[in-house]
Amino acid sequence: MSTLPLIAHRRPDDVIAWRGSVPVSVRQFLGEVGHVVGRLPPGRHVLNLCGDRYRFTVALAACIVSGRVSLLPSTHTPEMVRQMRHIAADVFCIVDQDENSVELPTFRYPESLPPTVGSPPIPDVDCEQLIAQVFTSGSTGVPVPHGKRWGSLVRNARAEAERLGIGADFAILGTVPPQHMYGLESTVLLPLQSGSALHAGRPFYPADICAALANLPRPRVLVTTPYHLRAVLTDQATLPAVDLLLSATAPLSQDLANEGESRFGAPLYEIYGCTETGQLATRRTTAGAEWQTLPAVHLRREGQTIVAEGGHIDSPTCLADVIELAGDGPVSTTFLLHGRHADLVNIAGKRTSLAYLNHQLNAIPGVEDGVFLLPGEDRPDGIGRLAALVVAPGLTPAALTQALRERIDPVFLPRPLLFVDTLPRNATGKLPSQITRDLLASLQAQPAAGMTA
């Protein structure tokens, strides 16, 4: 097919979004898209910073139908914005709040738009049209862009909907920002291409997440992260029922998955993917460790490298993770994921991964959050020491160290082990590497209170 529709909804009165408990129709959505298209300033490249997920989606759709490209960097720091301007000199910013410190030409999303007259047609979009640029970190510090074309994005979203059984009657709430690849795929493109409805908000605090869910009709989906899921389960005694839980951005433990399914009364699935390929596979965590690729996608062993291809993937792509294919052949649709090559740890001839160490640390009763860090530089004897930051207000360093000794090999015990009030997680629950290392360095420069060395 040379074109695919902007949305899968077919009737003007279908619900495409929820603003709180107020439905938004397809008619209203398409009318707002048309109005925004008519007001956008010149410039082909756009940094969409709308915090309201519905407004983000309208702005994204307006950019798509007017042939613009959305830039989706991992952060919006001043340095990253400067990098975006270097990549695309004509870039401008779309915001829906008056408080804006981004040093770019800015378009303010209209506070009010005229009512839609009639039933605007659903636009068709060229499958080869470049819709977005997403970025990975380059070895020189310059972000490396990866183009996302409409056909690939639609096939990916439809494959996700097919795998998860999400259809036109679902409502989807996300705790992750739409600017993040996972948020874009599962809270924007998934509802647009399955005929379901997205929720405009991005609740962060556990009580707000539960209140927003309770306002949505069923069947309803919570798209979240292990960090947000753990916070909700810890903070809230009573949870609203949901029909599906979806998690990504970090490994999910069996214990957390079991508790999530039990208390929400719904199956929980994890999504695996990467910036280069988008979503690749799912698993129901409580059913086992094995992943299943999305329809038409498969993995192929090529020497020591695993290549993803088929389905929505435009060209064969090498993966940066340590993956064990199921079966004896070089091609498989099922696999085990052992972590990233960059996360492998080798100390005194013994090997493990940061993912495994983090899992063991966070599984200790009393640990609210924690992370292992690789040594910043090699020692003269070639033996590096891991560090760890942990939020565990009810534990002493000695008690935590003893608990770790029961779970991991002594060579991987962190030196230092530092207690903190909170970890600097971003909106997707991830820990930005440089910010975390800066925190570690500042703590190591202080008197050694609450730490083991």
8 A C-beta contact, residue 166 and residue 417: no
Q: For residues 443 and 386, what is the distance between their CA atoms, to the nearest angstrom?
A: 15
Average pLDDT, the chain: 90
Residue 76 has pLDDT above 90, yes or no: no
pLDDT score at 378: 43
Q: What percent of the chain has pLDDT over 70?
A: 94
Pairing of strands 268-274, 220-224: unpaired
pLDDT score at 377: 47
**Which residue did the predictor score with more confidence, 356 or 60?**
60
pLDDT category of residue 117 using cuts at 50, 70 and 90: confident
Domain with CATH 3.40.50.12780 in the chain: 3-289
Q: Which two tokens stand for residue 36?
A: 């925004």
pLDDT score at 36: 97
Residue 74 has pLDDT above 50, yes or no: yes
The architecture that CATH gives domain 3-289 is 3-Layer(aba) Sandwich (3.40)
Residue 451 has pLDDT above 60, yes or no: no
pLDDT score at 382: 39
pLDDT in tens, 248-286: 988 888 889 999 999 999 999 999 999 899 999 999 999
Q: For residues 256 and 261, what is the distance between their CA atoms, to the nearest angstrom?
A: 9
**Which residue did the predictor score with more confidence, 385 or 197?**
197
Task: Please state which of the ranges 99-103, 283-287, 402-406 shows the lowest mean pLDDT.
Answer: 99-103
pLDDT category of residue 356 using cuts at 50, 70 and 90: confident
Average pLDDT over residues 336-340: 83
* Cα 2 to Cα 78, 160, 185, 196, distances in angstroms: 39, 21, 21, 24
Domain with CATH 3.30.300.30 in the chain: 348-452
The amino acid that residue 121 corresponds to is P
pLDDT in tens, 42-62: 999 999 999 999 999 999 999
SS3 assignment for the chain: CCEEECCCCCCCCCEEEEECCEEEEHHHHHHHHHHHHHHCCCCCEEEECCCCHHHHHHHHHHHHHCCCEEEECCCCCHHHHHHHHHHCCCCEEEECCCCCCCCCCEEECCCCCCCCCCCCCCCEEECCCEEEEEEECCCCCCCEEEEEEHHHHHHHHHHHHHHHCCCCCCEEEECCCCCCHHHHHHHHHHHHHHCCEEECCCCCCHHHHHHHHHHCCCCEEEEECHHHHHHHHHHCCCCCCCCEEEECCCCCCHHHHHHHHHHHCCCEEEEEEECCCEEEEEEEHHHCCCEEECCCEEEEEECCEEEEEECCCCCCEECCEEEEECCCCCEECEEEEEEEHHHEEEECCEEEEHHHHHHHHHCCCCCCEEEEECCCCCCCCCCCCCEEEEECCCCCHHHHHHHHHCCCCHHHCCCCEEECCCCCCCCCCCCCHHHHHHHHHHHHCCCCCCEEC
Q: Which two tokens stand for residue 334?
A: 């099922």
Task: Please state which of the ranges 227-241, 337-351, 418-432 shows the lowest mean pLDDT.
Answer: 337-351
Q: For residues 307 and 171, what is the distance between their CA atoms, to the nearest angstrom?
A: 34
Q: What percent of the chain has pLDDT over 90?
A: 69
For 348-452, CATH gives 3.30.300.30
pLDDT category of residue 11 using cuts at 50, 70 and 90: very high
pLDDT category of residue 348 using cuts at 50, 70 and 90: low
